[in-house]
Amino acid sequence: MDHRPKPSPPSASDITARGWPLHDYSPEARRRAAIHARQAQVQRLGFRGAVRQAFIPGARLRAGLVRVAVGTWNDGFIHAGNLAYMAILAIFPFFILGAAILTLLGGGWDPDRIVRAIIVAMPPVVGNVIAPVAKNVIAARTGWLLWAGAAVGLWTVSSLIETLRDILRRAYGTERTLGFWHHRLSSVALIVGAVILLIASFIVQVLIGTAQELIDAQMPQLAPLLAHLSISRILPALALFGSIYTLFYTLTPAAYRAPSYPKWPGAVLVTVWWMGVSFGLPPLLRTIFAYNLTYGSLAGVMIALFFFWLVGLGMVIGAELNAALAVTPEEHEMHERIDAGTEQMRNQGDASE
Q: Which pLDDT score is estimated for 45?
A: 39
Give residue 216's pLDDT.
64
pLDDT single digits (tens) 217-269: 666 666 665 555 555 567 777 878 888 888 888 888 888 888 888 889 999 99
Question: Which DSSP string corresponds to 273-338?
Answer: HHHHHHHHHHHHHHHT--HHHHHGGGHHHHHHHHHHHHHHHHHHHHHHHHHHH---HHHHHHHHHH
CA dist list (Å): 231 to 80, 201, 271: 31, 13, 17
Candidate ranges 2-11, 21-30, 49-58, 341-350; pick with highest mean pLDDT: 21-30
Per-residue pLDDT of 25-35, as tens digits, reads 677 766 666 66
Residue-wise pLDDT for 282-298, tens only, equals 887 777 666 666 677 77
Counting Cα atoms < 13 Å in the Cβ hemisphere of 244 gives: 29
pLDDT of 212 strictly over 70: no
CA distances from 167 to 79, 96, 351 (A): 7, 26, 50
- Higher-confidence residue of 19 and 129: namely 129
What's the pTM? 0.72
Contact 137, 218 (CB under 8 A): no
Q: Terminus-to-terminus CA distance in the chain, angstroms? A: 51
pLDDT at residue number 199: 60
On average, the pLDDT of the chain sits at 72
From CA 44, how far away is CA 340, in angstroms rounded? Answer: 15
* pLDDT over 70 at 179, yes or no: no
Least confident window among 50-54, 150-154, 226-230: 50-54
Half-sphere exposure of 6 (CA within 13 A, CB side): 0
Closest residue by Cα to residue 166 from 251, 72, 247, 263: 251
pLDDT above 90 covers a percentage of the chain that reads 5
Q: Which of 197, 123, 196, 192 is nearest to 157 (CA)?
A: 192
Bridge partners, residue 134, by sequence:
none
| pLDDT (0 to 100) of residue 299 | 79
Burial of 291 (0-12, 13-18, 19+ CB in 10 A): middle
* pLDDT at position 200: 62
Residue 351: per-residue pLDDT: 53
Residue 86 has a pLDDT of 86
Average pLDDT (83-109) is: 79
How would DSSP label each residue in 250-277?
A: HHS-GGG-STTS--HHHHHHHHHHHHHH
Q: What is the SS3 assignment for 109?
A: coil
pLDDT computed for residue 302 by the predictor: 86
Query: Does residue 18 surpass a pLDDT of 70?
Result: no
